[in-house]
């Protein structure tokens, strides 16, 4: 069973956390704590910053516009950062928000936008991606926030991929073999999952990816990119853990 309290309010903060650490919330977070969840002085919530584990904190002062908290005790230590990379062709707005949230929920430690021949979105709001990652972490008891990489062309991303990584390539044109077996018999090492755009990869891109990848079929149906992301990450989690 998970070792966190699903009922407790959780909040990501950038401040360092330690016994007695004072945390003054930014205005947007202060509004949420004071006016949305209505945390009174003397009541507790959970804080995490992606570095120092999870801490119980008490509201010690403030009104409707100012909230001061004091960290009292560590609830969970900071785990090792997840090694799973999710690389994807960017999508538009709400679908990208959804995809980022699901990738974080499923254990991605690095979100890497890659620009392919058929990518329809070339400008990406990295701050929005980070905010969606934080929201998913707050809601799902996650302590290690994923890193959000700058967008790179696919060829550049492939060239930078370390030789110790297992590249998982989800190809709609792949033969319909058992994906769990393919993942369990792949070499050991951290995994990078690559999902393409709605138009798929070009023949030239596919030819460059395939020789170094574990190629998976996600079944006989053509999936939208955000659906394919959930399916692929679920398979990797089931087959390799993490």
Residues 92-133: pLDDT tens digits? 878 889 999 999 999 999 999 999 998 877 788 999 999 999
Q: What is the CATH classification number for the domain harbouring 120?
A: 3.40.1280.10
157 and 212 both lie in a single domain: yes
Rounded Cα distance, 65 and 53, in Å? 27
Q: What angle do CA 203, 239, 213 make, to 5 degrees?
A: 25
Final residue in a domain of this structure, among 76, 103, 121: 76
109 and 226 both lie in a single domain: yes
27 and 147 both lie in a single domain: no
Residue 94: in which H helix or E strand, if any? helix 93-105
65 and 143 both lie in a single domain: no
Q: What is the pLDDT of residue 16?
A: 97
55 and 135 both lie in a single domain: no
Rounded Cα distance, 144 and 146, in Å? 6
226 and 110 both lie in a single domain: yes
56 and 137 both lie in a single domain: no
Rounded Cα distance, 27 and 29, in Å? 6
90 and 69 both lie in a single domain: no
Q: What is the pTM of this model?
A: 0.88
Rounded Cα distance, 188 and 205, in Å? 25
- Domain span at residue 31? 10-76
Q: What angle do CA 36, 42, 47 make, to 5 degrees?
A: 65
Which stretches in the chain have pLDDT values below 50? 1-2
95 and 181 both lie in a single domain: yes
Structure tokens belonging to residue 137: 């972490």
Q: How many domains does one find in the chain? A: 2
Q: What is the pLDDT of residue 1?
A: 42
Structure tokens belonging to residue 11: 């909040």
């Amino acid at each position: 069973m998970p070792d966190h309290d699903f009922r407790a309010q959780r909040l990501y903060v950038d401040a360092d956390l330690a016994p007695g650490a004072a945390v003054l919330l930014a205005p947007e977070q202060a509004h949420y704590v004071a006016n949305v969840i209505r945390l009174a002085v003397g009541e507790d919530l959970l804080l995490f910053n992606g570095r120092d584990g999870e801490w119980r904190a008490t509201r010690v002062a403030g009104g409707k516009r100012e909230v001061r908290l004091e960290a009292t005790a560590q609830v969970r230590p900071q785990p090792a950062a997840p090694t799973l990379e999710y690389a994807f062709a960017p999508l538009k707005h709400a679908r990208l928000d959804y995809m980022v949230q699901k990738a974080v929920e499923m254990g991605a430690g690095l979100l890497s936008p890659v620009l392919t021949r058929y990518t329809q979105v070339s400008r990406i709001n990295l701050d929005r991606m980070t905010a969606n990652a934080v929201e998913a972490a707050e809601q799902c008891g996650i302590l290690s926030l994923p890193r959000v990489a700058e967008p790179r062309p696919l060829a550049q991303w492939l060239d930078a991929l370390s030789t110790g990584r297992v590249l998982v390539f989800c190809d709609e044109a792949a033969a319909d073999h058992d994906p769990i077996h393919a993942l369990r018999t792949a070499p050991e090492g951290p995994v990078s999952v690559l999902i393409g755009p709605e138009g798929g990869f070009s023949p030239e891109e596919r030819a460059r990816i395939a020789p170094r990848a574990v190629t998976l079929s996600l079944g006989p149906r053509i999936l939208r990119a955000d659906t394919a992301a959930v399916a692929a990450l679920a398979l990797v989690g089931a087959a390799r853990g993490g």
